[in-house]
Structure formats: C-alpha cells, structure tokens
Structure 1
Amino acid sequence: MSNKKQTLSLTEDWTVVVFGFLIIALTLLGLKIPNPAFGWKDTSELFEKVLTISNLTNVIFVFVIVYAVAILATLTLGKNVIATVKGFPIVFVLTFLALILAGNAFLKNWNLEAVIFSLSIGLIISNFFTVSAWLKDSLSTELFVKIGLVLLGTSVIFGDILKAGSLGLIQALLVVISVWYFAFWVSKKLGIDEELAIIISSAVSICGVSAAIATAGAIKGDSKKLSYVISIVLITAIPMIIFMPFIAKALGLSEAVTGAWLGGTIDTTGAVIASGTLVGEEALKISTIVKFSQNVLLGLAAFAISIYWTYTNNQSETVKESKPTLGVIWERFPKFVIGFIAASLLFSFFVSSETIDSVKGGLKSLQGLWFALAFTSIGLETKFSDLFNNEGKKPLYAFLIAQLFNIIITLVIAYFLFK
C-alpha cells in the first residue's frame, strides 16, 4: 500500500513539472495568454470592464488552456477523466466568481486575496449543500497548487536579487531564519504536530500565502491544515496594514525604517504595498524591496524543507532506526520543487528581459488562477468542523505569538540597518 502511494506521488510531481513547462514553453513560443480584468468599483464598472464581451472572451480563452491541461494531466495520472471533464468547469465558474469578488475596490482595500474568496465559496457549498461524488473526484487540489508553484518560479528572477539591495537581503535572511525557528519552537511547545508547525513557521517568516502553499507542497501537507494557516495569514494581515503605520509614526520611525519594518513583518506582498502607501513613497519603496528579498528566499526555503522532510519523515517501514539513503531521498523528493527552481533559472539566465516583459502578465495570471482553483477545491472537500474544530486554537496562538516575535525582532533589525 505504501509503495503504491509513493509511485502515485512521484508520477504526479513529474506530471506537474511537464505540464507546467508545457505552459511556459507555449508562452515563450508566442502563445499570448490574456490577463482578464477583474477590477471594479461599482455595478456600472462591473459591466463595463469585467463582464464585457472582450473580457469574457479572454476568460474563456484562459479556461480552455487550464481545462485542457487539467484533462491531459488527469489522463496522464490514470485518474477519472470523465469526472474532470464534468467537474472542472464547475470549479472554474466558482473560481471566476471568487476572482470577481476579489476584484472589488472596497474588498481590495482590505487586501482580501482571491484565494480566501475561492476557499469561502467552496466551504459554503460543502457545508450547506451536498457535493456530488463525481464532483469530488474532479478535485485535484495538489495538481492545481503545484502547477501554480512551477509557474511561480518564472517570477523569481535571480538577477533581481541584486536590485533588492544588500540591506534588504541581510534583513530578509536574519528575519526568515530567526522567525522560522522561533515559530517552529513555539508550535512544538504548544503540542502542534510537525507538519502543521512547519507550514505555520514558513507562512509567518517568509511570505505568507505563497510560502504556506510551497511548504505544504514540499512536505505533501494536509490541504485542510494549509487552508487553516492561510485563513489566519489573511485575517491577521488586515489589522497590521492599518495599525502598523500609526505605531511607526508614534514611535518616531523614519520612512526607511518603517518601510523595512512593514516589509519584514506583513505576510503578503499586496498588504505590504497597501500599508507602505499609507506612510509615503520611500516607505513604499523600501517595504517592497524587503518583501521581495524575502520572496526570493522562497525557493531556497522550499528546497531545504523538502530535504529535511524527506530525510526525517520517510524512514523505511522495515528499518525504523536507519535514515533513508540518497537514492530514497531522491525517490521521495517532491519533484515540483525542481520544476520551480528550473523555471526560475530559465527566466533568470536564458530568457531576455524583453521576452519576460511580454509573457510575465499572462503567466502571473495563470499562476494566480491555479492557486484559486486549488482553494475552491479545498473548500468543496472540507467541512467547517474539519477546518477549525479539529485543530483547536493552538495553531492560532502559535501564529500570533510568532508574529509578535516577528514584529519585535524585525523592528530591531530594521532600525539598525536602515536608520
């Protein structure tokens, strides 16, 4: 039974790499992936910008791409193709509604990302209605997440590390390492299982949602635990956006220090930009640089966590006391991480900046769509009781304690580096 699961996992990871790079190759060969508009302020703008014939045509074009990939990937994995053919359009429509909600100007000001809406829509349906078995069979959460992560690699450009600045990188390294270990230590002290502790630690120390998703993929984490952590990340970011600029002003911090503080503590890039804007142009610039520096570390962190997890948690069932060999580590290592790194290397050293500028919008749009599809799927297969009651309040306490430590240690580091 164990060997069967390992084979399926390997096949799925390599399938993700193949289809992720198929999408990348098609864009580099000239396929123009549209970037549909979802931003609107009122009902009139909704119909004038989002629900227009031209924009809906772009949405349908994107749907055809992801639909074809989902069917081909399902076929490659030997899973239920009929269920995917029937169920995927429903998941896409629900995700499309989530993207429209996330595009509303009022909700955008609160930095409520599309994944929280797609997760919420799925949860509402699964908790108040009966989800058909064939629809559940079409939910390929890990497939969607990992394809999105391979595409995410195209936006992590190694050359941009230099642009981030040495101070931003120094702060990012100090913050990520110290906060990650503190968060992990607190989680373990509170009796949280290692899988959830690692996801929490990555989310609070690196870059919030993306880090949580990448980490859960690297350790083959439970999707319910992942959705729990992401909910905490997004909810916690809202008061931080509003209050941290006022606290910085009360402390008499310069814009540079404030920006470095915001960039190192607030867990999503959009929230950092929103908060930095409230302070000023310099704060916005520094906060973006620092947050970008942390985002750059995502690939390295996912790789390190993958090695740690495969080495410590995949011991032989017959020889419990022995650590796995390099061959076993390679066999069980999540191959999508290789796809992520390969995509980053490709766009860093082999693709011209002009080409990157022409394709990055479409690839980013697809990346966000795959993530949103994944969280619609998570919502559809999750009950509220599973999401919250089973884990209790300990993960929330661990996250808040770690975030408080993050706020304090990052303020100290930012003050000495950027004063």
Structure 2
Amino acid sequence: MGQEIEKLWKSEDYWAIWFSVILFTGISTGLITVVPKVKKWVSDPLQAVPADLGLWILYLGIALGVLMTIGVAIMREDWRKFFGGFTIVFVLAVVSYIVAAQTTIKAWGLGYAIWALFFGLLIANTIGTPKWILKGAKSEMFIKTGLVLLGGEILFSEILQLGAPGLLVAWCVTPTVILFMWFFGTRWLKMASKRLTIIIAAATSVCGVSAAIAVAAACRAKKAELTLAVGMTMIFTVLMMIGMPALCNMVGMNPAVAGGWLGGTIDSTGAVVAAGAFLGPVAEKVAAVVKMIQNVLIGVVAFVVALFWVTKVDRDPKAPRPSLMEIWYRFPKFILGFAAASVVFSFILMPIYGHEEVSQILKLSKVFRGWFFCLAFVAIGLESNFKELASQLVGGKPIILYIIGQSFNLILTLLMSWIAFGGILFAPFE
C-alpha cells in the first residue's frame, strides 16, 4: 500500500491525472480564460501566428513547460534537462500546427499529428535527435495527459441525440470489428506483434488517432508500433473522406444512412464532419453524433485491453493467475482518470453548470488536449527511426490487416446504418 501511495507522486500515470485536474480546475474557476490556437492561412504563414497570438503561444509554452517541469522534478528526474528539451519539442509542435493550418492542407485532412510525426522523424533520421532534447520528449506523459483531458469531452448526454439507431451503428459494429481484426491478425496472419495488431484494430474500429494512442498506452506498445498504426490510419482517412461522400452521391444514398456510414467508419472526428458536410445537414449531423457515440468506447476499449494484457498476454503461462492487487499495481491508472473525467463532466458538472457552461469549459480543454497530442507526436517522431518502422512492415501484414479490417468495417457499418436509419428497424430519421 505504501508503494502505491508513493506512486501518486512518482508515476507518469498519476501525473497525467494531476496535470489534467490542474488544467480543468483552472478553466472551471476562470483562472484560465484563453488557450491559444493557430489561425488558418492561405499563402503567408505569418498569418497563422500574428503578434498578439504569438505572445499567447509563448505564454502557453512557458506555462506548460513549468507545470510539467514541476511534475518531473517531484518524480525525481532531471528537470533542467527536461525543460530544455521540452522547449524544442514545443517549438516543433507550433511549426506542425502552422503547417496543418494552411487552408489547402487542412481541406485535405492532413492534420497536426501527421506533421508532428514528420518533423520529429525528419530530425531523428537525418541529423539525429540530441540526447538533451530526448530528455524533454516524454511522449507517454504527453499522451496520457491528453487522454485524461479527452475523457472530459466524452459526454453521455450526446448518446441520447440519436438514441437506439446511433447506438446500434456505433456500439454493435465497433466491438465486432475489433474482435474480427484481432483474430484475423493473430490467428490467420500470425502477426509477430500482438500490440500492433490491437492498435490497428482499435484505430480502424473506434476513432483513429485517439483510439490508437489510448490502446497503445494501455498495452505498453513500442513507439514504432504506434507511429505505423497512426500513419496508415491518417493516409486512409484522407482517401475515405474524399471517396465515400462521392460514392454516396453517385448511388443516391439516403442522407441519414450515408451519415451513419461515414460516422462509423472514417477514423477522425474532423474528417467525419467534413465528409458529412458534403452530403448536407442531415448527413453531417448523423455522422458527427455517431462518431461522438463511438468515441465513448475509447475508454472502454482501453480499459478492456489493459485488463486483457495484464491478465492474459503479458502473463507467464506457468505462473499462477495474478491477484487483484497485482492487477491493480500493473493497471495503467491514466485510464481511470479518463473514465473519471467523463463521469464528472457527464453526471456532475453538466447538471450543475448546464450544457452551455460545460461546453465553454470543454472548448478550452480541447485545445489543451490538442497541444498535448501534438507534443506527443513530435516526441514519438524524435524517438523513432525508419529501420525500426520498416521492421514492423515485414511481409506487409499490418497493411493487409488494415485493408481487410477496414473493408469488413465498411460493409458491416453500411448494413447497420441502413437498418438503423433507413426505416427498417426504426422510424426514418429526418
């Protein structure tokens, strides 16, 4: 018990929760009223960060750096080297956001994550990442903090917007696709890495990047495994965002059915909304809400994966079954922070403050979450090398798993969307 209490102050899992609690509290009490975002630009990158916004971004970098440096110091790590390395990681995150904010690039769905990975990988695989920068590239700490912040955005009230039809599409298809891809990857393809298999399955069936990083953290995956899964997911997301609305228009698909199909298959909330907008307001609303309902499963899937890994995958077959206390010690605590944030916002803050006030809180926390994820992908890139990535692609099995799994997902989701929104099982959605 004493060891667990000590971890409250010396573990990244717990510090991800403490960082999130501090930020949530600061926003909720009015101490934090602005979280800067890079602006869109067309031809002049300086339009993305005008002078006043640039000053706010500088303040943000200093504030986050100081906050996390305090945590690192309490964890008894070298806080001076962390702060120096963090400064470079933050600058690269800002550059990634600026590139992603260019209007054409944004329209193509090439978000900050892909650019953050690109710049990190470019440095790591050309000049090499200096060791002092790596001290500030704490990808897991950034990821876990961002995930706890994401938990607050998972509001159970959103499930009620589409009711049973939305649940049918989002909650029946998702676990089915995960199980299909898990068994296909481990038993048919016999992929060497079970961690890579489950990350690709989660990214395909739930919500792309967010699900991938949650499950990767839950099963303690390698950086290269997460990088590969995210890279594949983002490439196919762009193709699906462009191709699926065109196909729906070509065949004259019912807007609500099309929306359910888009929301249940495209692996990014932003891409889902953009694709739905091509088909009109009904498709856009259904697509967005189905994706929101599906996002609720991020925490559930991460929790189940973490439990499965502790009790089955990482367990020595010759050793006795781990006790409940051992499971608790090994279980990633940030997942509990994710779940707690969702419960607090859904069932405590929502009734007290109301939807409008909570939406304002989440509007700011969502920007914080984006910065943490961007920092994480920069850090992952700086820690990775192409040789390790190439080793994960031997035989092309990850690509085969993704293509077969996504094909199954597309067919099953279309069927469920037709049943749910096409007037088959429920009244037609208008």
Equivalent residue letter for 1:92 = F
Equivalent residue letter for 2:190 = G
Equivalent residue letter for 1:42 = V
Question: Which residue number in structure 2 is paired with residue 310 of structure 1?
Answer: 310
The 3 A distance-change label for structure 1 pair 305 and 152 is: same
CA distance in 1, matches of 2:388, 2:111: 22
* C-alpha contact 2:7 2:14 (8 A) present in aligned 1: no
CA distance in 2, matches of 1:284, 1:53: 35
The 3 A distance-change label for structure 1 pair 7 and 311 is: farther
Q: Which runs of 4+ in 1 moved over 4 A?
A: 6-10
Q: Structure 1 residue 10: deviation in Å?
A: 7.7
Q: Structure 1 residue 36: deviation in Å?
A: 2.2
SS at match of 1:260: helix
Deviations 1:84-142 (A, max 9, x none): 12111111001100000111110011111111100100001111113211112221110
CA distance in 1, matches of 2:372, 2:250: 41
1:100-249 equivalence runs, <5 A: 100-188=98-186, 189-192=188-191, 193-249=193-249
CA distance in 2, matches of 1:205, 1:285: 20
Question: Which residue number in structure 2 is paired with residue 383 of structure 1?
Answer: 385
CA distance in 2, matches of 1:52, 1:10: 39
* C-alpha contact 1:183 1:402 (8 A) present in aligned 2: yes
* C-alpha contact 2:19 2:68 (8 A) present in aligned 1: no
* C-alpha contact 1:10 1:331 (8 A) present in aligned 2: no
Question: Which residue number in structure 2 is paired with residue 296 of structure 1?
Answer: 296
* C-alpha contact 2:17 2:148 (8 A) present in aligned 1: yes
Deviations 1:242-300 (A, max 9, x none): 11122223333211111111111111111111111111111111111111110112122
Equivalent residue letter for 1:388 = A
CA distance in 2, matches of 1:281, 1:90: 42
CA distance in 2, matches of 1:160, 1:417: 17
CA distance in 2, matches of 1:9, 1:315: 27
SS at match of 1:195: helix
Q: Structure 1 residue 357: deviation in Å?
A: 2.8
* C-alpha contact 2:143 2:373 (8 A) present in aligned 1: yes
* C-alpha contact 1:39 1:105 (8 A) present in aligned 2: no
Q: Structure 1 residue 7: deviation in Å?
A: 6.9
SS at match of 2:221: coil
1:73-112 equivalence runs, <5 A: 73-112=71-110
Question: Which residue number in structure 1 is paired with residue 365 of structure 2?
Answer: 363
Q: Structure 1 residue 200: deviation in Å?
A: 0.9
Work out the percentage of aligned pairs sharing the same amino acid.
34
Question: Which residue number in structure 1 is paired with residue 416 of structure 2?
Answer: 413
CA distance in 1, matches of 2:9, 2:237: 33
* C-alpha contact 1:310 1:332 (8 A) present in aligned 2: yes
CA distance in 1, matches of 2:245, 2:43: 32
Q: Structure 1 residue 170: deviation in Å?
A: 1.4
* C-alpha contact 1:33 1:62 (8 A) present in aligned 2: no
* C-alpha contact 1:142 1:374 (8 A) present in aligned 2: yes
Give the aligned CA root-mean-square deviation in angstroms: 2.0
Equivalent residue letter for 2:110 = L
Equivalent residue letter for 1:54 = D
Deviations 1:156-209 (A, max 9, x none): 112222124221111111110111111112211212221111111111111111
Question: Which residue number in structure 1 is paired with residue 425 of structure 2?
Answer: none
Q: Are positions 1:340 and 2:338 aligned together?
A: yes
Q: TM-score, normalised by structure 2?
A: 0.91
CA distance in 2, matches of 1:8, 1:21: 14
Deviation larger for 306-315 or 113-122: 306-315
The 3 A distance-change label for structure 1 pair 178 and 388 is: same
- In structure 1, list runs of 5 or more residues that go unmatched: none
* C-alpha contact 1:32 1:359 (8 A) present in aligned 2: no
CA distance in 2, matches of 1:7, 1:226: 26
Equivalent residue letter for 1:109 = A
SS at match of 1:217: helix
Deviations 1:208-234 (A, max 9, x none): 111001111111211210111000000
Q: Structure 1 residue 358: deviation in Å?
A: 2.7
Q: Structure 1 residue 236: deviation in Å?
A: 0.4
Deviations 1:70-93 (A, max 9, x none): 201211222221211211111100
* C-alpha contact 1:347 1:356 (8 A) present in aligned 2: yes
Equivalent residue letter for 1:65 = A
CA distance in 2, matches of 1:42, 1:173: 39
Deviation larger for 281-290 or 248-257: 248-257
